């Protein structure tokens, strides 16, 4: 498609078309397996730029996609208009009301730092390098979730540009249907330009990670299965089987190793945390034990997610219980004795506040699950069929209906819709038809094809 240079969107931010210097950098995603090729990309600087871009796309009959950091880029944008929001990074914290406001391109690290100055913490995810908006709209299951629930549960208001190019502010009292749908339905209803959400009085926590040798993976996973059943909601945990790269930045015992990585975040005293953790410390010898009392600003130490861009392909399912048979199956498919192209296989403990309906209900899916089983493989085109085949085998366990949007990866629209019970699914589609009748927002994790 050829677009005349005299007929491009008029915005304060830059506009690129294929062939322009800067185009490739503008469309690049953190997940480098996803290569976007839009006809036009707008580097938005504010909500007015976003609205102007969407209105322009409407006059040209173009679909619209949005990207902040590209951590959640699971499907490439081909053609149409891409709005990038990485220049919209404003963050503010109100310590009196214990709330924060974040613009479309802000990252959690900004919110964590701003909130920590007041002894407060947000419900960020496993990595603070992820964008605030995309993570929250997908639900957001983070290290404090068993105590406080999903990040979306604590959103107070949302500023959003809908398919007609209108800039709206929605909350529980204003366009409540749209407010319900966006919190959980991700980017299917418009481009969120700003979000306001609650913070919590958390200055520090007892947490971090323990890396166990892969040779003890079976003992660790079976011990974990028995251990988590009795944990209080103040303790959020996960355990992952990791195939670590041979990078110099990793401690020598972990370099190029297969390990079982226990992740812990406890909102209680260090003394109580030590007592709660004792059964897992006794499960196997540790290569590295980094669980201690730390300020919340060090929350990235829990999961130790990679910071640099990489190609990934991911998918997960939900479990009603974690049985010995499920653990054995995970070890059979992805244990240390087999060579499979999976960088991580994670079991995450949910339940607690994750399972409770928030004061202002939303469209977050997967609320009744007790665990998630999630896998990430390298997103290289030549490996995709093998990664998918191994992931299929791994996830062939006794699951429960539904799924988490942020853990659904590149699933097709019909699979994504199965994340919700029938009544919520029908409501989402009804709201989608009302606000986006021509399916302008049809990229990424689209609910309709």
- pLDDT for residue 7: 82
- pLDDT for residue 249: 87
Q: What letter would DSSP give residue 107?
A: B
E strand or H helix that includes residue 376: strand 371-378
**For the chain, what percent of residues have pLDDT higher than 70?**
98
Confidence of residue 3 (pLDDT cuts 50, 70, 90): low
Residue 244 has pLDDT above 70, yes or no: yes
Residue 328 has pLDDT above 60, yes or no: yes
* Residue 406 · residue 140 · CB < 8 Å: yes
Q: Is the pTM of this model over 0.95?
A: yes
**Average pLDDT for 81-87:** 98
Residue 4 has pLDDT above 80, yes or no: no
Instruction: Pinpoint the alpha helices (H) of 60-214.
Output: 108-116, 132-137, 145-148, 176-185
* Residue 446 · residue 413 · CB < 8 Å: yes
**Average pLDDT for 52-56:** 98
Residue 39 has pLDDT above 60, yes or no: yes
Surface-to-core class of residue 64, CB atoms within 10 Å of its CB (0-12 exposed, 13-18 middle, 19+ buried) = buried
Q: What is the mean pLDDT of the chain?
A: 96
**Distance between CA 133 and CA 43 in Å, rounded?**
17
Residue 153 has pLDDT above 70, yes or no: yes
- For the stretch 92-128, pLDDT in tens is 999 999 999 999 999 999 999 999 999 999 999 999 9
Residue 442 has pLDDT above 60, yes or no: yes
- pLDDT for residue 13: 98
Confidence of residue 5 (pLDDT cuts 50, 70, 90): low
- Print burial letters for 178-204: b (CB count within 10 Å at least 16), e (below 16): bbbbbbbbbbbbbbbbbbbbbbbebeb
* Residue the block writes with tokens 């590149």: 410
- For the stretch 351-379, pLDDT in tens is 999 999 999 999 999 999 999 999 999 99
Residue 303 has pLDDT above 90, yes or no: yes
Least confident of 93-97, 144-148, 245-249, 420-424: 245-249
**Distance between CA 295 and CA 283 in Å, rounded?**
27
Q: What letter would DSSP give residue 338?
A: S
**Average pLDDT for 214-228:** 98
* Phi, psi for residue 390 in degrees, rounded to 5: -65, -40
- For the stretch 378-402, pLDDT in tens is 999 999 999 999 999 999 999 999 9
Measured CA distances, 49 to 4, 134, 204 (Å): 20, 19, 38
Confidence of residue 316 (pLDDT cuts 50, 70, 90): very high
* Side-chain-side CA neighbours of residue 385 (13 Å): 1
Residue 245 has pLDDT above 60, yes or no: yes
**Distance between CA 182 and CA 186 in Å, rounded?**
6
- For the stretch 390-439, pLDDT in tens is 999 999 999 999 999 999 999 999 999 999 999 999 999 999 999 999 99
* Residue 232 · residue 337 · CB < 8 Å: no
E strand or H helix that includes residue 420: none
Helix, strand, or coil (residue 377): strand
Closest CA to 234 of 277, 265, 260: 265
């Amino acid at each position: 498609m050829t677009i005349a240079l005299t007929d491009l969107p008029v915005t304060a931010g830059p506009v690129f078309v294929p062939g322009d210097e800067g185009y490739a950098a503008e469309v690049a995603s953190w997940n480098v397996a996803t290569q976007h090729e839009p006809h036009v990309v707008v580097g938005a600087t504010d909500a007015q730029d976003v609205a102007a871009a969407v209105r322009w796309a409407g006059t040209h009959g173009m679909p619209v996609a949005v990207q902040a950091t590209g951590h959640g880029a699971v499907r490439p944008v081909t053609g149409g208009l891409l709005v990038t929001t990485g220049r919209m990074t404003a963050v503010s914290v109100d310590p009196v009301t214990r709330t924060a406001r974040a613009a479309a391109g802000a990252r959690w690290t900004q919110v964590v730092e701003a909130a920590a100055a007041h002894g407060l913490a947000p419900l960020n995810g496993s990595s603070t390098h992820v964008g605030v908006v995309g993570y929250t709209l997908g639900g957001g299951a983070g290290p404090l979730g068993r105590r406080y629930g999903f990040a979306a549960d604590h959103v107070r208001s949302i500023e959003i540009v809908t398919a007609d190019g209108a800039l709206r502010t929605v909350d529980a009292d204003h366009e409540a249907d749209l407010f319900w749908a966006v919190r959980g339905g991700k980017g299917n209803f418009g481009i969120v330009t700003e979000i306001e959400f609650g913070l919590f009085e958390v200055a520090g926590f007892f947490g971090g990670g323990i890396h166990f040798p892969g040779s003890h993976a079976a003992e660790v996973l079976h011990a974990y299965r028995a251990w988590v059943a009795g944990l209080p909601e103040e303790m959020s945990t996960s355990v992952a089987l990791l195939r670590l790269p041979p990078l110099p930045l990793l401690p020598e015992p972990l370099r190029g190793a297969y390990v079982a990585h226990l992740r812990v975040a406890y909102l209680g005293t260090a003394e109580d945390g030590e007592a709660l953790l004792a059964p897992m410390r006794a499960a196997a010898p540790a290569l590295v034990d980094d669980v201690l009392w730390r300020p919340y600003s060090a929350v990235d130490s829990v999961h130790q997610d990679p910071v640099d861009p990489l190609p990934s392909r991911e998918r997960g399912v939900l479990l009603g219980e974690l049985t010995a048979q499920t653990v054995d199956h995970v070890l059979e498919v992805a244990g240390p004795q087999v060579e499979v192209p999976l960088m991580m296989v994670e079991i995450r403990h949910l339940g607690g506040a994750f399972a409770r309906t928030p004061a202002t209900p939303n469209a977050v899916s997967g609320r009744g699950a007790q665990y998630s089983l999630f896998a990430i493989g390298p997103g290289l085109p030549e490996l995709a069929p093998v990664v998918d085949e191994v992931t299929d085998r791994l996830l062939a366990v006794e699951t429960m209906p539904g799924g988490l949007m942020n853990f659904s990866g590149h699933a097709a629209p019909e699979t994504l819709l199965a994340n919700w019970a029938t009544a919520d699914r029908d409501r989402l589609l009804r709201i989608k038809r009302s606000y986006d009748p021509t399916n302008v927002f049809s990229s990424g994790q689209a609910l309709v094809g």
